A and B are shown apart, each in its own frame.
Chain A
């Protein structure tokens, strides 16, 4: 018994975001789906975790904390809210580490929250090539403890890692990466937890949903079984433990 996804509860639907994250303890590792930018970001789950106030968190994301200072991936309109990103956990002092591929924008004016925390020695930043990061997460969810990749050979990423030649090319051994919780954002969930994504919002979400002990989905709409075409299921309900529906008219995209 690996203690991954537990037996299916009677209902996966949780009424509000605060309740959905209420059991997350200090010291937990949190995978945050999407790519970076507003599309695919589980913004309401993130804000609920910030309000919960637990600390010593490890955040696992991709493009992690650049939207607040650069507007990356956020629409700019009169009625659109100011961008929020994973930097919120560093601004609040809740996160002590981030594992991601893209922690900082090109510019240092103004400084992003992650770079501020890193410069002040308040946070560790582990920078991973994006393809390696997503494969580490996929591997964790698929029962593969490690894999070889050509990416990173001959760079600082290779330091301390085993390498091996296959057919004359060198590859690095990279290990699977799991999380205590995954936050994923989808367009629709059915009550079994099957998820349907839209456009480029899937990104890291589907793999993260498979790799965490507890996966929580933030969706625009919860439907009965059959409300998602079986051909359009992007994440199996088998991976999803909790689903929460956003309020209609939420100003966050």
Chain B
């Protein structure tokens, strides 16, 4: 692998970019890790109704760890603040909401994404055990699935691949991939490079992306606001 042409963006930058795609007033479920960071990085004026699998809709920002009421929790184990208009419900209803297609957008982490939009994010085969949680339900049934992840593994192997070698969370489910160097859209014709980080050319991104992508006619710099 060649050296990076420019620094990669931070996990916060990835989350900030993903937050730009969240629709004002939308019902949104944020996965653990980078996705959860989105809640504190929303553009001014945007208000979301967050859903968490454990049975809460319409809560405030997600990262208020360890100092709240254990009976007011989100699925990441954080204790959100009570805000007017929120609602509690049991897991039957919570997953009816997901399976029934009532979640506008979910942002999930990823281990691998294929050019067909297959997502693998629940188990590393070497470990042999993993946690599915609500991930399969969300990936299969949300109206839009955004994957927010680093572009490569720590040893610089592509995470955007021709074929996922890790166990799938759901096939053909991902709409958008936001990484620390690029924004890529998954369409039926294949992957489209929409944005690249400063100092990264489409060729630089392609060098660490296994499937060949098409550079979009709307290609532009990585958006920050």
Contacts and interface: CB of A to CB of B under 8 A. Distances in A.
Same complex for A and B? Answer yes
A168 to B, nearest CB: 14
Nearest to A34: B54
Given A127-B132, A203-B54, 18 more contacts: A36-B54, A37-B77, A70-B77, A75-B70, A106-B32, A125-B129, A130-B134, A134-B92, A150-B99, A150-B140, A151-B99, A153-B140, A156-B168, A199-B69, A203-B91, A234-B90, A253-B70, A253-B71
Contacts of A157: 132, 136
B130 A104 contact: yes
A219 B56 CA distance: 21
B92 A206 contact: yes
State the majority secondary structure of interface residues on B.
Answer: loop
A101 interface: yes
Interface string B47-66: 00000111110000000001
A149 B167 CA distance: 19
Q: 10 tightest CB-CB pairs across the interface, nearest first?
A: A131-B95, A131-B137, A199-B71, A154-B171, A39-B70, A38-B70, A35-B54, A129-B136, A72-B77, A76-B66
A156 B167 contact: yes
Nearest to A105: B131
Interface string A130-142: 1110110010000
Contacts of A90: none
21 contacts: A39-B69, A39-B71, A40-B71, A75-B79, A103-B129, A104-B131, A108-B127, A127-B131, A127-B132, A129-B132, A131-B134, A151-B137, A152-B140, A154-B170, A156-B167, A197-B88, A199-B88, A201-B71, A202-B88, A203-B90, A206-B92
A202 B55 contact: yes
Interface of B: 32, 52-56, 66-75, 77, 79, 88-92, 94-95, 98-99, 118, 127, 129-137, 140-141, 167-172
A74 B77 CA distance: 8
A76 to B, nearest CB: 4
A212 B34 CA distance: 38
Interface in A81-105: 101-105
Contact of B71 (A134, A154, A155, A198): A198
B73 A155 contact: no
Interface of A: 35-40, 62-63, 70-77, 101-106, 108, 115, 118, 125, 127-132, 134-135, 138, 149-157, 197-207, 234, 253
Given A155-B168, A203-B91, A35 B75 contact: yes
A74 to B, nearest CB: 7
Contacts of B79: 75
B171 A155 contact: yes
A200 B130 CA distance: 24
B89 A202 contact: yes
Nearest to B79: A75
A75 B68 contact: yes
A51 B171 CA distance: 45
A130 B168 contact: no
A152 B92 contact: no
B99 A153 contact: no
A108 B91 CA distance: 28
Contacts of A129: 132, 134-137
A131 B142 CA distance: 13
Contacts of A77: 66-67
Contacts of B168: 154-156
Contacts of A207: 90-92
Contacts of B69: 39, 75, 199
Contact of B72 (A108, A199, A203): A199
A205 B90 contact: yes
A171 B89 CA distance: 26
A253 B68 CA distance: 12
Contacts of B32: 106
B72 A200 contact: yes
Given A35-B55, A151-B137, A104 B129 contact: yes
